[in-house]
Protein backbone atom coordinates (compact mmCIF):
# COMPACT_ATOMS: atom_id res chain seq x y z
CA UNK A 1 0.00 0.00 0.00
CA UNK A 2 2.93 2.32 0.47
CA UNK A 3 4.23 1.73 -3.04
CA UNK A 4 2.93 3.38 -6.11
CA UNK A 5 0.91 1.24 -8.49
CA UNK A 6 2.41 0.57 -11.86
CA UNK A 7 0.28 -0.09 -14.90
CA UNK A 8 1.59 -2.85 -17.13
CA UNK A 9 1.49 -1.78 -20.76
CA UNK A 10 0.09 -5.16 -21.84
CA UNK A 11 0.38 -5.39 -25.60
CA UNK A 12 3.86 -3.92 -25.54
CA UNK A 13 5.14 -5.64 -22.38
CA UNK A 14 4.24 -9.27 -21.70
CA UNK A 15 3.05 -9.94 -18.13
CA UNK A 16 5.06 -12.02 -15.66
CA UNK A 17 2.96 -15.15 -15.25
CA UNK A 18 3.29 -17.35 -12.18
CA UNK A 19 4.63 -20.85 -12.79
CA UNK A 20 2.04 -23.49 -13.75
CA UNK A 21 -0.45 -20.84 -14.89
CA UNK A 22 -3.77 -22.15 -16.22
CA UNK A 23 -4.04 -20.69 -19.67
CA UNK A 24 -5.22 -23.19 -22.23
CA UNK A 25 -5.24 -26.98 -22.44
CA UNK A 26 -2.58 -28.70 -24.54
CA UNK A 27 -2.96 -32.21 -25.99
CA UNK A 28 -0.12 -34.75 -26.12
CA UNK A 29 -1.74 -36.86 -28.81
CA UNK A 30 0.63 -39.83 -28.56
CA UNK A 31 -0.59 -40.55 -25.01
CA UNK A 32 -4.30 -40.34 -25.82
CA UNK A 33 -5.94 -43.77 -25.90
CA UNK A 34 -9.44 -42.41 -26.62
CA UNK A 35 -10.71 -43.67 -23.27
CA UNK A 36 -13.21 -40.75 -23.23
CA UNK A 37 -12.76 -40.11 -19.49
CA UNK A 38 -12.04 -36.42 -20.05
CA UNK A 39 -15.19 -35.93 -22.13
CA UNK A 40 -17.37 -37.88 -19.68
CA UNK A 41 -16.11 -36.03 -16.60
CA UNK A 42 -16.27 -32.53 -18.13
CA UNK A 43 -19.08 -30.65 -16.36
CA UNK A 44 -19.57 -28.35 -19.36
CA UNK A 45 -19.46 -31.05 -22.06
CA UNK A 46 -17.02 -28.93 -24.04
CA UNK A 47 -14.71 -31.77 -25.16
CA UNK A 48 -15.55 -33.50 -28.43
CA UNK A 49 -13.85 -36.79 -29.30
CA UNK A 50 -14.36 -38.99 -32.35
CA UNK A 51 -12.52 -42.25 -32.97
CA UNK A 52 -12.63 -45.51 -34.83
CA UNK A 53 -11.35 -49.02 -34.14
CA UNK A 54 -8.47 -50.46 -36.11
CA UNK A 55 -7.22 -54.03 -36.11
CA UNK A 56 -3.54 -54.57 -35.43
CA UNK A 57 -1.84 -57.68 -36.84
CA UNK A 58 -0.52 -60.19 -34.32
CA UNK A 59 2.88 -59.46 -32.82
CA UNK A 60 4.00 -63.09 -33.11
CA UNK A 61 3.06 -65.80 -35.60
CA UNK A 62 0.03 -67.72 -34.41
CA UNK A 63 -1.14 -64.83 -32.25
CA UNK A 64 -4.48 -63.15 -32.56
CA UNK A 65 -5.32 -59.77 -34.01
CA UNK A 66 -5.90 -56.93 -31.58
CA UNK A 67 -8.09 -53.90 -31.95
CA UNK A 68 -7.20 -50.41 -30.81
CA UNK A 69 -8.90 -47.03 -30.84
CA UNK A 70 -7.57 -44.42 -33.23
CA UNK A 71 -8.20 -40.75 -32.53
CA UNK A 72 -10.02 -38.97 -35.37
CA UNK A 73 -11.06 -35.74 -33.67
CA UNK A 74 -10.21 -34.12 -30.35
CA UNK A 75 -11.62 -30.64 -29.89
CA UNK A 76 -12.25 -28.35 -26.95
CA UNK A 77 -14.78 -25.54 -27.11
CA UNK A 78 -13.12 -22.80 -25.05
CA UNK A 79 -16.26 -20.67 -25.22
CA UNK A 80 -17.88 -23.27 -22.94
CA UNK A 81 -14.84 -24.38 -20.91
CA UNK A 82 -14.72 -23.12 -17.33
CA UNK A 83 -11.02 -24.05 -16.87
CA UNK A 84 -11.72 -26.31 -13.90
CA UNK A 85 -9.02 -28.81 -14.88
CA UNK A 86 -11.10 -31.91 -14.21
CA UNK A 87 -10.22 -33.29 -17.65
CA UNK A 88 -6.52 -32.97 -16.88
CA UNK A 89 -6.93 -34.56 -13.45
CA UNK A 90 -8.87 -37.62 -14.68
CA UNK A 91 -6.68 -38.38 -17.72
CA UNK A 92 -4.96 -41.67 -16.75
CA UNK A 93 -2.38 -41.43 -19.54
CA UNK A 94 -1.16 -37.83 -19.14
CA UNK A 95 -2.43 -36.66 -22.52
CA UNK A 96 -3.75 -33.27 -21.32
CA UNK A 97 -1.70 -30.47 -19.75
CA UNK A 98 -2.10 -26.83 -18.76
CA UNK A 99 -0.28 -24.42 -21.04
CA UNK A 100 0.41 -20.84 -19.91
CA UNK A 101 -0.78 -19.47 -23.27
CA UNK A 102 -3.58 -16.99 -22.70
CA UNK A 103 -3.67 -15.04 -25.96
CA UNK A 104 -6.13 -17.02 -28.04
CA UNK A 105 -8.99 -14.56 -28.40
CA UNK A 106 -11.06 -14.80 -31.57
CA UNK A 107 -13.46 -12.41 -33.26
CA UNK A 108 -16.07 -15.14 -33.82
CA UNK A 109 -17.26 -17.40 -30.99
CA UNK A 110 -17.33 -20.39 -33.37
CA UNK A 111 -13.56 -20.12 -33.79
CA UNK A 112 -13.04 -20.83 -30.07
CA UNK A 113 -13.53 -24.54 -30.73
CA UNK A 114 -9.93 -25.63 -31.17
CA UNK A 115 -9.16 -28.90 -32.90
CA UNK A 116 -6.32 -31.27 -32.06
CA UNK A 117 -3.82 -29.50 -34.34
CA UNK A 118 -4.10 -26.30 -32.33
CA UNK A 119 -4.12 -28.21 -29.03
CA UNK A 120 -0.96 -30.05 -30.13
CA UNK A 121 0.78 -26.73 -30.87
CA UNK A 122 0.11 -25.56 -27.31
CA UNK A 123 1.67 -28.72 -25.92
CA UNK A 124 5.12 -27.32 -26.74
CA UNK A 125 4.51 -24.32 -24.46
CA UNK A 126 3.81 -26.47 -21.40
CA UNK A 127 6.53 -25.85 -18.80
CA UNK A 128 8.51 -28.71 -17.34
CA UNK A 129 7.21 -30.06 -14.04
CA UNK A 130 8.83 -28.65 -10.92
CA UNK A 131 11.85 -30.48 -9.58
CA UNK A 132 11.28 -33.05 -6.87
CA UNK A 133 11.93 -31.97 -3.32
CA UNK A 134 15.21 -33.61 -2.23
CA UNK A 135 13.88 -33.89 1.34
CA UNK A 136 10.67 -35.60 0.22
CA UNK A 137 9.85 -39.17 1.10
CA UNK A 138 10.60 -41.73 -1.60
CA UNK A 139 7.44 -42.79 -3.51
CA UNK A 140 6.02 -46.13 -2.35
CA UNK A 141 6.30 -47.70 -5.79
CA UNK A 142 9.97 -46.83 -6.13
CA UNK A 143 10.74 -47.94 -2.57
CA UNK A 144 9.02 -51.30 -3.16
CA UNK A 145 10.87 -51.81 -6.46
CA UNK A 146 14.21 -50.88 -4.86
CA UNK A 147 13.64 -53.30 -1.95
CA UNK A 148 12.73 -56.11 -4.36
CA UNK A 149 15.84 -55.42 -6.45
CA UNK A 150 18.06 -55.39 -3.33
CA UNK A 151 16.51 -58.69 -2.17
CA UNK A 152 17.15 -60.31 -5.55
CA UNK A 153 20.73 -58.99 -5.59
CA UNK A 154 21.32 -60.37 -2.09
CA UNK A 155 19.92 -63.79 -3.10
CA UNK A 156 22.11 -63.82 -6.23
CA UNK A 157 25.20 -62.87 -4.20
CA UNK A 158 24.42 -65.60 -1.64
CA UNK A 159 23.96 -68.22 -4.39
CA UNK A 160 27.19 -67.08 -6.03
CA UNK A 161 29.09 -67.33 -2.74
CA UNK A 162 27.68 -70.81 -2.10
CA UNK A 163 28.65 -71.90 -5.61
CA UNK A 164 32.19 -70.54 -5.14
CA UNK A 165 32.45 -72.26 -1.74
CA UNK A 166 31.22 -75.56 -3.21
CA UNK A 167 33.71 -75.25 -6.08
CA UNK A 168 36.51 -74.50 -3.60
CA UNK A 169 35.72 -77.54 -1.44
CA UNK A 170 35.47 -79.75 -4.53
CA UNK A 171 38.94 -78.62 -5.73
CA UNK A 172 40.39 -79.41 -2.27
CA UNK A 173 38.71 -82.83 -2.26
CA UNK A 174 40.21 -83.66 -5.70
CA UNK A 175 43.72 -82.83 -4.55
Q: Which of 75-79, 157-161, 170-174 has the lowest mean pLDDT?
A: 170-174
Q: What is the pLDDT of residue 137?
A: 85
CA distances from 154 to 32, 108, 173 (A): 40, 67, 28
Q: What is the pLDDT of residue 72?
A: 95
Q: What is the pLDDT of residues 140-154, one digit of tens each?
A: 888 888 899 999 999
Antiparallel, parallel or unpaired: β 24-27 and 96-99: antiparallel
Residues facing residue 75 across a β-bridge? 48
Q: What is the pLDDT of residue 3?
A: 86
Q: What is the pLDDT of residue 171?
A: 57
Q: What is the pLDDT of residues 56-110, one digit of tens each?
A: 988 888 889 999 999 999 999 999 999 999 999 999 999 999 988 888 888 999 9
Identify which of 14-18, 93-97, 128-132 has the greatest average pLDDT: 93-97
pLDDT at 23 over 60: yes
Dist. CA 168–CA 109, nearest whole Å: 83
pTM of the model: 0.68
Q: What is the pLDDT of residue 106?
A: 87
Amino acid sequence: MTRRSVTAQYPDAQPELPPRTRGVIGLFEENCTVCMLCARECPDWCIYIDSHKETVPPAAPGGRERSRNVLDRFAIDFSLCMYCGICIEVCPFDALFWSPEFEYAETDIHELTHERDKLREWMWTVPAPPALDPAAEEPKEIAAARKAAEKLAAQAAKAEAEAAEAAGTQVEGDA
